[in-house]
């Protein structure tokens, strides 16, 4: 038994590790800035090159023990390992995290040991703990200063240069597509400005749900009634034929009331007692301890 339990625990641990590795495959390099003179600042108030990682999963994931590298041929020669034990390395679902490529890992978990080189192509690779490549991108050398190289949407789409204009936002640690309105809500508002359609739809949904509930309760009642008749037929020794079960009727209210009253009288019955009182005189030996004359106060002499 203990051996089976230990094997089950090992299997569950292996399954969880496989699931974690599978989740890490959904990590994506999402946006990169090489020259940062007037943009995003780190926790120390300094500006520098940064790399944004996006969690494309619909569940949180811990990115500790993953690797970042800028050497495609020999990634081990320029490797930064995300430290283990930092609670900030757990990325929420569909969220982002920024790594500062400033060559100063002593500043914290999110500061890499390498730098990006302005004016030249910068290859960036994201590796799993077993050194399998998860994602990579080559940032072009002609990327302007204070511009970013980003995906058209989070984790998907083509790479494009963003200069921070009205239509090409630079979005560190946020979604690459900023939605200020919901197109479906806008279209619905245009088609139903007074809200009558929404009211009718809501009422239809509510009444439909109530109708479904009524049908469910009715069906449950009929099923319970059928099984009750089956049990009663078995108790009475009748055939379980459906035609005979239909003829079996429940006890009437008068019969049930009579049974209840009989049980009440039976459970609350008293012994018949005589109502004659008998007083017998008891003779006892005189004792000053029981004499009342010693307990009465004497009247004062006048």
Mean pLDDT, all residues of the chain: 82
Check if the beta carbon of residue 37 is closer than 8 Å to that of residue 81. Answer: no
Tokens 């989740």 found at: 23
pLDDT at 15: 46
Cα angle for residues 278, 280, 283 (degrees, 5° grid): 170
For the chain, domain boundaries:
25-180, 181-249
The ranges of the chain with pLDDT < 50 are 1, 14-22, 243, 245-248
Q: Report d(CA 121, CA 129) in Å as an integer.
A: 26
CB environment 211-224: b (16+ within 10 A), e (fewer): eeeeeeeeeeeeee
Tokens representing 289 are: 């301890």
pLDDT at 170: 92
156-179: per-residue pLDDT in tens? 889 999 998 877 889 998 888 877
pLDDT at 230: 82
Q: What separation, in Å, do the N-terminal and C-terminal C-alpha atoms of the chain show?
A: 103
135-144: per-residue pLDDT in tens? 999 999 999 9
pLDDT at 203: 93
Q: Which option is the CATH number for 25-180: 2.40.40.20, 2.60.40.1260, 1.10.10.60, 2.60.40.10?
A: 2.60.40.1260
User: Which of 115, 137, 118, 120 is CA-nearest to residue 35?
Assistant: 118
């Amino acid at each position: 038994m203990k051996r089976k339990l230990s094997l089950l625990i090992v299997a569950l641990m292996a399954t969880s590790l496989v699931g974690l590795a599978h989740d890490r495959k959904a990590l994506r390099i999402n946006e990169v800035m090489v020259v940062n003179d007037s943009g995003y600042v780190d926790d120390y108030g300094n500006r520098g090159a940064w790399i944004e990682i996006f969690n494309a999963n619909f569940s949180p994931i811990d990115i500790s023990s993953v690797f970042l590298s800028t050497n495609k041929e020999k990634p081990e020669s320029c490797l930064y390992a995300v430290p283990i034990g930092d609670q900030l390395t757990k990325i929420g679902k569909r969220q982002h995290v920024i790594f500062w490529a400033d060559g100063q890992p002593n500043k914290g978990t999110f500061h890499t040991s390498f730098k990006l080189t302005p004016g030249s192509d910068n290859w960036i690779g994201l590796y799993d703990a077993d050194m399998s490549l998860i994602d990579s991108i080559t940032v072009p050398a002609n990327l302007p200063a204070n511009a970013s190289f980003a995906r058209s949407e989070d984790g998907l789409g083509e790479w494009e240069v963003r200069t921070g204009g009205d239509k090409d936002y630079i979005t560190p640690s946020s979604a690459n597509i900023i939605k200020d309105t919901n197109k479906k809500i806008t279209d619905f508002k245009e088609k139903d400005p007074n809200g009558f359609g929404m009211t009718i739809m809501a009422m239809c949904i509510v009444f439909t749900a109530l109708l479904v509930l009524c049908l469910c309760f009715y069906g449950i009642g009929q099923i319970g009634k059928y099984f009750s008749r089956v049990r009663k037929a078995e108790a009475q020794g009748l055939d379980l034929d459906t035609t005979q079960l239909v003829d079996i009727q429940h006890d009437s209210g008068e019969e049930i009331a009579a049974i209840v009253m009989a049980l009440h009288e039976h459970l609350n019955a008293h012994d018949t007692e005589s109502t004659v009182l008998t007083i017998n005189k008891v003779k006892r030996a005189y004792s000053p301890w029981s004499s009342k004359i010693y307990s009465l106060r004497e009247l004062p002499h006048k």
